[in-house]
Amino acid sequence: MITKPKGTYDIYGNSAKYYNYINNVFATICEYYNYEYIRTPIFEDSELFHRSVGETTDIVSKETYDFKDRGDRKLTLRPEGTAGVVRSFIENKMYGEVNQPKKLYYSGTMYRYERPQAGRFRELSQIGVEVLGSDSPIIDAEVISLAYRTLEEMGILNVTVKINTLGDTSSRENYRDALVRYLKPHLDKLCSDCQKRFATNPLRILDCKVDKDSEVLKNAPSIMDYLNDESQKRFEKVLEYLDYLDVDYEVDSNIVRGLDYYNHTVFEITADIADLGAANVLGAGGRYNNLVSFLGGPDTPGIGFASGIDRLMLVLQELNKDKEIDDGISVYVMAVNEEERLTALKLVQDLRWCEVKTEMDYLDKGLKAQFKQADRLKARLLIILNSEDLQKGLMTVKDNLTKEEIKVDENEILDYIISNL
Ligand code: HAM
C-alpha cells in the first residue's frame, strides 16, 4: 500500500466539515471588511522566498521544499503566503490601481519541512490577509481585530493577542546592537541554536523555545527602550485603536517573529490549549514596510497576518467534541420500481435546485432498508413514492419527527416541502 507522505494528512469526513466551515467564515468576514480574494501559485521562483523570508531564518535555511523543474528552473513550494502576494502586487502593478490601499485575502496550502508533531505539519493550510499601501496605525488595528474576531466568530474565545513593535529600521538596528553587546558575555549559557542565531539573527534568540526561561533572556534589554519617538508614538496609536475596538491584548517584548521582513507592529494570537504545546499559536503577523521595495516594487508599506487552518481545526474539534455537528439532510425520496425511481430522479434534482439538501437510494435497496438509510442520514421529511399514488398524481410525505403522513398533489410538492422544513 502506498501511504501519505510524512507530515501530511487527508481531510475528509468531520474534519472536512471544519475545514470548509473555517474557510467560509473567513471569506464571509473578509468580504464584509471589503478585502478582495487573491490566489497565487503554490510554487514560486526560489529566490522570492530566500530574499523575502530571509536566508538565515529557520523557514528558509531548514524547511523549504526546493526543486528544479524539467527546464532546470529553481522553484520552491511556498512556505507562507505573504511573499507570493507581494510578488503579485508588484508584478501586476496593483500599486497603480485607483483604490488604495489594496486589501487582499487568501487561503491555501503551504509547505515546510518541519518535525511533525501535534498541530505542526509539513503540508499546512493558512487563511490570511495582506494590506498594501497604507502605513496608518488604523490598518494595524483593523488587521489584528479581523484576526481576533474571526476566531471569536468560530467560538474560539480563550485566546490572547500578544503584540510588540520592532520599531523602524533605525530603532531595530540600535536595539540589535544593544542586544548583541548584552548577549556576548552570556553566550555559553544559551542553546546551540541560539549560539548560531547570535551571529545571523540575534533578535530571534528572544523567542527561543529552549531558552525562554533562562535568566539571560529575562534580563535582556527591551526593544521598548530603543524605540525612537516616531516608532514609540506609532505603537501607542495602534494600542489605543485596539483598546477602542475592544481587542484584548498583552504587550510582549519577546515577540520578534521568525521571518525577516517585519518592522513596527508584530503580533501572535495564542490559544490556551495544553495539548497543542508550542503549536498553540493560532495566527500571527505584522507590518513589513520595506518588503515591497526590497522585492523591486515602489516604496509601499504593508501589513498582514495568517492563521493555521489545521490548528483551528484541532481547536474546534476539541471545543465541540461533545456536540454533534448538525449534518442531517432535509429530504429523503424513496422509490423502489423503475417508474418510481424515474420520478424520484427528477424530484430530487428539483428539490436540490430549490436549495433543499436531498438524497435518494442508488443501490436498489428495498423500502425497509431505505427507511433505515433515511434515519441514518437524519432526514427531516420523507417523500415515499408508490406507483398507485403516482397514477393519481399524489405523493406521500412523512414527517420523520412527528411520524405523521399526508398525501400531497405532485404539482404542489415543492411548495409543500419548502414551507414545511
Ligand atoms: P507564520 O507565523 O510562519 O507567519 O505562520 C502563521 C500561522 O500558520 C501560525 O501562527 C500557525 O498557526 C500556522 N502554521 C505555521 N507553521 C505551521 C505548521 N508547520 N503546521 C501547522 N500550522 C502552521 C506567516 O506565515 C506569515 N506569512 C504571516 C503574515 C502574513 N505576516 C504578514 N502577513
**Residues 67-112: tens digit of each pLDDT:** 999 999 999 999 999 999 999 999 999 999 999 999 999 999 999 9
Residue 181 lies in a domain: no
Asked if 154 and 71 sit in the same domain, the reply is yes
Claim to verify: residue 22 and residue 99 sit in the same structural domain: yes
The answer on 404 and 279 residing in a single domain is no
Question: Which residue in 51, 275, 63, 239 sits closest to 145, CA to CA?
Answer: 239
User: What is the percent of the chain with per-residue pLDDT over 70, rounded to a whole number?
Assistant: 99
Banded pLDDT at 141 (limits 50, 70, 90): very high
* 161-213 pLDDT, tens digit each: 999 999 998 998 899 999 999 999 998 888 988 888 888 888 888 878 788 78
Rounded to the nearest whole angstrom, what is the distance from the C-alpha of residue 283 to the centroid of ligand 1?
Answer: 6
Task: Give the per-residue pLDDT at 25.
Answer: 97
- Residues 412 and 421: their CA atoms lie apart, in Å, by 15
Residue 292: the pLDDT is: 96
Judgement on whether residues 279 and 133 belong to the same structural domain of the protein: yes
| CATH classification of the domain holding 385 | 3.40.50.800
User: Do the domain assignments include residue 218?
Assistant: no
Backbone angles phi, psi at 107, to 5 degrees: -150, 135
Question: For residues 360 and 379, what is the distance between their CA atoms, to the nearest angstrom?
Answer: 11
Co-location of 127 and 274 in the same domain: yes
* Predicted local confidence at residue 57, as pLDDT: 80
CA–centroid distance, residue 268 to ligand 1 (Å) = 10
Is 80 exceeded by the pLDDT of residue 325?
Answer: no
Which atom belonging to ligand 1 lies closest to the Cα atom of 82? Answer: 27
For the chain, what is the domain count?
A: 2
200 falls within a domain: no
Q: Which residue has the cell 521571518?
A: 259
How many Cβ atoms from other residues are within 10 Å of residue 115's Cβ? 10
The pLDDT value given to residue 111? 98
Mean pLDDT of the chain: 94
- b (16+ CB within 10 A) / e for 289-322: bbbbeebebeebbbbbbbbbbbbbbbbbeebeee
Kindly calculate the radius of gyration of the chain based on its CA atoms and give it in whole angstroms.
Answer: 28
Residue 149 has pLDDT above 80, yes or no: yes
Q: 182 CA to middle of ligand 1, Å? A: 30
Q: What is the model's pLDDT at position 126?
A: 98
pLDDT at 58 over 90: no
pLDDT computed for residue 294 by the predictor:
93
Residue where a domain terminates, one of 319, 345, 368: 319
Together in a domain, 86 and 55 = yes
- Could you tell me if 382 and 291 lie in one domain? no
pLDDT digits (tens, 9 = 90+) for 234-283: 999 999 999 999 999 999 988 988 777 899 999 999 998 777 777 899 99
Average pLDDT over residues 353-364: 97
Under a CB-based contact definition with an 8 Å cutoff, are residues 281 and 269 in contact?
yes
Is 269 found in the same domain as 358?
no
Give residue 344's pLDDT band: very low, low, confident or very high (50, 70, 90). Answer: very high
Task: State the residue range of the domain holding 370.
Answer: 331-419
pLDDT at 362: 97
Examine the domain organization and report whether 283 and 335 are in the same domain. Answer: no
Give the tens place of pLDDT for each residue, 385-398. 999 999 999 999 99
Mean pLDDT of 312-316: 94
- Is residue 202, in this structure, part of any structural domain at all? no
Pocket-forming residues, ligand 1, beta carbon under 6 Å:
80-82, 112, 114, 119-121, 124, 126, 128, 130, 258, 281-286, 304-308, 310-311
- Can you tell me which atom of ligand 1 is nearest the CA of 259? 3
CATH number of the domain where residue 90 is located:
3.30.930.10
CB atoms closer than 10 angstroms to residue 40 = 18
In a domain, 62, yes or no: yes
pTM of the model: 0.93
Whole-number pLDDT of residue 103: 98
User: From the alpha carbon of 59, which atom of ligand 1 is closest?
Assistant: 3
Q: How far is the CA of 260 from the centre of ligand 1 (A)?
A: 14
Q: How far, in Å, are 47, 148, 176, 361 from residue 268 at the CA level?
A: 27, 10, 21, 49
Query: For strand 405-409 and strand 381-384, is the pairing parallel, antiparallel, or unpaired?
Result: unpaired
Q: Which of 319, 352, 386 is the last residue of a domain?
A: 319
Cell numbers given for 420: 414545511
Residues 19 and 107 grouped into a single domain: yes
Residues 297, 337 within the same domain? no
260 plus 339 within the same structural domain: no
Where among 294, 319, 344 does a domain terminate? Answer: 319
CA gap 306, 107 in Å, rounded: 9
In a domain, 176, yes or no: no
Cβ(309)–Cβ(291) below 8 Å: no
The answer to whether position 235 is within a domain reads: yes
